[in-house]
Amino acid sequence: MSLQVKIPAVGESITSGVVSVWHKKSGERVRKGEPLFTLETDKVSTEIVADTDGVLETKVPEGQEVKIGEIVAEIDQSKAAAEVPAPAAKSTEQKTPLSPAVRRIAKEEKLDVSQLKGSGKGSRVTKGDALAAVEQREQKPTEAPPTDEQAEREEASLPPAESDARVTRKRMSPLRRKIAQQLVMAQQTAAILTTFNECDMSEVQALRAHAQEGFTQKYGIKLGFMSFFIKATVAALKAVPSINGRIEGDDFVQNNYYDIGVAVGTERGLVVPVVRDADRKSFADLERDIAEFARKAREGKLKIEELQGGTFTISNGGIYGSLLSTPILNPPQSGILGMHKIMERPIAVNGAVVVRPMMYLALSYDHRAVDGREAVTFLIKVKEGIEQPKTLPIDF
């Protein structure tokens, strides 16, 4: 008897995905609960596990796009208890299939995959393991440069270089296609307007520096700037509730809770995991959530439910060096706050010119739901919270 392996539903808005890598090959014996393959969708990557013991027979190759409910493999249960000959010795790479991210790093950095030690489930090699191997290698003393004679021999042994193509065409990933659709949809369906302000980061920098050592010792995590901005944003949303709502048909839906999306950049594109009930969480809770989301995003382990249901979004382009930008709404939300690079600039304070660490703030909002006065009020409220951080609900 054979059990069909079908693509499961992984989210109400997801209709297809890509079988990015098979962790088990055709003819291999699998056990219930073992990862069979990674399904990459337009939002997350998910490991699909075996529902029974048996021998696997795959139906689709790696890299193929598949629909929800499509049969991609079968597991022959009649062979579950059969004696299977021990396979010939294989390399570490064959025994423990590598994820696409790990394979890319190994290829680019010329790593010996057989020497990589895995810290993931079932001793699987994670992206972090590969990056750690690169860092460890770079810390070793560099070898002496080759002699001219050695260099000539190596050069002579190299294959002739291929001429570069003028263009390269490749299919966009499901995540990138989804991002493109969302951005275009946001521009076409909302009346997006952006208002700007700036904030002096002196006080929050001083408070953070003063509290950092004690905060780290007490909670085991560093105190960052994002938790301050989340707290300031929640205070501003309470002062201007319309920005925490959305338009739905002919209705306006007011959200009376504060689930704040925090945009995180990954190799696959931008994802926005949601910090639930941000108004009820401590600074330590917020920092833990942010750190955990960043880790999951890097490793491609975010769950679909962690990306859904946000009421407002914060995007920090400053970590990439952006000085000023106009963020695009994350539908169906009515507002998004853009943080930017902290840069020392001369400003006027009490009639004197002083140099302060300044950050530009940008609020993009749906003008159908939010008036300009409300948008400006919101941004000033965020500015006040950052410039006077002790007015926030400090709990450390």
Contact predicate 220/341, CB 8 Å? no
- Our answer to whether residue 367 is catalytic in this structure is yes
User: Dihedral (C-alpha) 393, 381, 354, 201: value to the nearest 10 degrees?
Assistant: 40
Q: Are 118 and 125 in contact (CB under 8 A)?
A: yes
Q: Name the catalytic one among 112, 277, 371, 395.
A: 371
Answer for the pair 314, 229: CB distance below 8 angstroms, yes or no. Answer: yes
- What is the 3 state secondary structure string of 45-75? EEEEECCCCEEEEECCCCCCEEECCCEEEEE
CB atoms within 10 A of CB 257: 12
Our answer to whether residue 23 is catalytic in this structure is no
Catalytic residues, by residue number, are 367, 371
